């Protein structure tokens, strides 16, 4: 008895089994097909998960994906930054001359530098002045903490020397 099996053509789309899959979005079971690609993907995943290098491979794939996305978006961003557009009011009607995104960003930066931080009390300065003030206070605070710490160490060392001298002098006096 001879059994002959002829397979004309196999590709990743070739269906090898009919299956029932659970659709988590609908919460229902659906009839589906299992292809050669499904089996290959399952085997590759099983090998990768079993391998200790899976995390580094995943990180590398994510890094490559970020680079590809960045390269694809760079021309779009450059075009958007340089291209002119028409500002509109809340009704969508054109207002003023055409403007570029670079001009909008520059205008907003100028506003931030000159805009009062508090519209009720202008004595507090501009948003930019408050940001600079906060950073200066943080930097000076760190410097002052270091100086106080060094001064404490120096004073405690001197006090320790003075106490030791006083104790020695008291013992000699006896």
What does the pLDDT read at residue 71? 92
What does the pLDDT read at residue 122? 65
Question: What tokens were used for 49?
Answer: 């998960």
156 Cβ contact partners less than 8 Å away, ≥ 6 residues apart: none
Reference 14, options 32, 34, 40; nearest CA is 34
- pLDDT, averaged per 10 consecutive residues of the chain (174 residues), comes to 84 82 73 85 79 75 91 88 87 90 86 77 76 86 85 83 79 71
**Cβ neighbour number for residue 104 with a 10 Å cutoff:** 13
What does the pLDDT read at residue 69? 93
Residue 135 CA to residue 144 CA, distance in Å, equals 14
- The reported pTM is 0.37
Where are the chain's structural domains? 24-78
What does the pLDDT read at residue 53? 67
């Amino acid at each position: 008895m001879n059994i002959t099996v002829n397979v004309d053509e196999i590709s990743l789309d070739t269906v090898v089994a009919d299956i029932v899959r659970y659709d988590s979005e609908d919460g229902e079971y659906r009839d589906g097909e299992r292809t050669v690609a499904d089996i290959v993907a399952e085997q590759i995943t099983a090998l990768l998960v079993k391998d200790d290098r899976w995390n580094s491979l995943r990180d590398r794939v994510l890094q490559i994906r970020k680079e590809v996305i960045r390269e694809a978006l760079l021309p779009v961003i450059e075009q958007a930054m340089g291209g002119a557009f028409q500002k509109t009011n809340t009704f969508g009607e054109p207002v003023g001359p055409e403007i570029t995104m670079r001009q909008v960003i520059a205008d907003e930066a100028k506003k931030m530098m000159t805009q009062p931080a508090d519209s009720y009390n202008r004595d507090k300065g501009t948003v930019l002045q408050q940001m600079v003030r906060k950073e200066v206070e943080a930097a000076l605070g760190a410097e002052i903490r270091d100086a106080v710490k060094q001064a404490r160490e120096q004073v405690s060392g001197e006090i320790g020397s003075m106490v030791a001298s006083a104790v020695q002098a008291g013992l000699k006096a006896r």
